[in-house]
Amino acid sequence: MSTGTIETGGLPGFRRPRRTARAVGDVRERHGGRRLATGITIAAAIIILWHLTRAILLAPVFPPGASPWGAWLAVLAIVAAGVVSRIFSRAQPLPDVLYAVLLAALAVPVWLDVSATWGSLHLGITPTAAAATGAVLMPVAAIRGTRVSLVVASAIGTVLLVATLLQATSAGPYTATGISVAASAVLPLVLAVVATRGFRRLVGRELDLSIVQSTVSTPRAAFGMRASEELAQLDFDAETLLDDVGSGRIAIPLPAADAERAGRLAAALRLRLIAGRTDTWLRHAVTESAYLNDRVVVDDPEGSAGLLAQEQRDNLLLALWLLVGERRKGQPEPIQVVVSTPDGDDDGEHHSPVVRLVIEVSGVVRRRLDPATWDAVGSVGSHDVVAGSDSFRIEIECRTDPTVPVSASADESARPRGS
């Protein structure tokens, strides 16, 4: 059995190909992201109305010369500005300038409300508009980043908490009410942030899996999406150089700088073409996946994974996906996949009917694996499991069609073969 190591996981500075990055952004932001933002906006509106109802009920109790309406007018002005921006700027729901102005403007209702209610906690009067500003940030967190919104809401909650504690001596039992109001400015946003981050993580992983599944229908040796983009760029650079030479903009013999540039292009093209000989669907799937890229390492120097039928490829990719999902958070050791064929059985025209896979898994408790993982592994081929002290190994023997040439076309690779 021949072995070698080609690391496709752990690549520093993962960068998704531009085409797939646009596709992921479109689905996440324009479809599911909109629905999430709409739901959070409705929840925020309910919370704001609840605080407004409290303000109406507390208004008759306010001392002469004080009222909550100045702060509420400021809140309504901020909400109106956000709604107008959402209506007239569909492509970018909250521009950067308006985003910064909105965050700064929230200080106005907080200051007005704390000033209007200061010294009145013993009467049961608490800030209402200031607490509502935390809810105003909920749709902002769904549309823009969650970190800044969470920091601002925490600052507002801290201001309300400090104001409550400074009045604790005279407020007596109403101190608990003030603390509850301070928490109400932060807690709804925390829940919105948890929901938003969880949604984005879930959608990102599902979209990533859907995108890399396109690799299962490629021939045994083929270029992936990222390699195709690199080749396109190399082709463009070469055409530009040749056009400059042909039009006389660059003289012959080439100047030293242009000669060095031509040499770099030729070397890069040769390296890419050589690497493509053993680049299989599995290597592309791992390399082009933000989820698998730093969690899986593939050892397949002969490109034997390209011999698997499409159904076997689908199930192997799914098995890896499920195994990665079960790993403990922060687990440093990647899952290792060794792919090989028996020595001397590949003659260059027809391949061995057997492909052997070994999957080394660490950081996963075997008995806690989803049953779907074993169903997927079983669909790849017959397998055995070898348990270790803190890891286990899955050995799979895959039967393939020995009559199909190595240079099978994409259509032939896409047609399921008997396993």
pLDDT at 112 over 90: yes
Q: Tell me the helices (H) and strands (E) count for the chain, helix number first.
A: 16, 5
What pLDDT shows up at residue 297? Answer: 87
The winner for highest mean pLDDT among 14-28, 74-88, 270-284 is 74-88
What pLDDT shows up at residue 44? Answer: 92
Query: Residue 290 — very low, low, confident or very high, per pLDDT cuts 50/70/90?
Result: confident
> Could you tell me which residue, 413 or 303, shows the higher pLDDT?
303
pLDDT at 12 over 50: no
> Could you tell me which residue, 3 or 32, shows the higher pLDDT?
32
> Could you tell me which residue, 291 or 126, shows the higher pLDDT?
126
Q: How far apart are CA 280 and CA 4, in angstroms?
A: 15
pLDDT more than 90, % of the chain: 22
Q: How far apart are CA 360 and CA 200, in angstroms?
A: 29
> Could you tell me which residue, 117 or 259, shows the higher pLDDT?
117
pLDDT at 286 over 80: yes
> Could you tell me which residue, 402 or 302, shows the higher pLDDT?
302
What pLDDT shows up at residue 233? Answer: 65
Query: Residue 293 — very low, low, confident or very high, per pLDDT cuts 50/70/90?
Result: confident
| pLDDT per residue as tens digits for the range 389-409 | 678 889 998 887 655 444 433
Averaged pLDDT, 190-219: 78
What does the DSSP assignment read for 106-149? THHHHHHHHHHHTT-GGGT---SHHHHHHHHHHHHHHHS-HHHH
Q: How far apart are CA 119 and CA 163, in angstroms?
A: 9
What pLDDT shows up at residue 276? Answer: 52
Task: Give the range among 172-181, 219-228, 285-294 with minimum mean pLDDT.
Answer: 219-228
Averaged pLDDT, 213-235: 58
What pLDDT shows up at residue 160? Answer: 94
pLDDT at 9 over 50: no
Q: Is the pTM of this model over 0.75?
A: no
pLDDT at 37 over 90: no
Contact 245, 254 (CB under 8 A): yes
Half-sphere exposure in the Cβ direction for 159 (13 Å, CA): 24
pLDDT at 259 over 60: yes
Average pLDDT of the chain is 76
What pLDDT shows up at residue 416? Answer: 38
Averaged pLDDT, 8-29: 46
pLDDT at 158 over 90: yes
Task: Give the range among 116-125, 137-146, 153-162, 206-215 with minimum mean pLDDT.
Answer: 206-215
Adjacency order of strands within the sheet including 354-362: 296-299, 335-340, 354-362, 391-399, 382-387
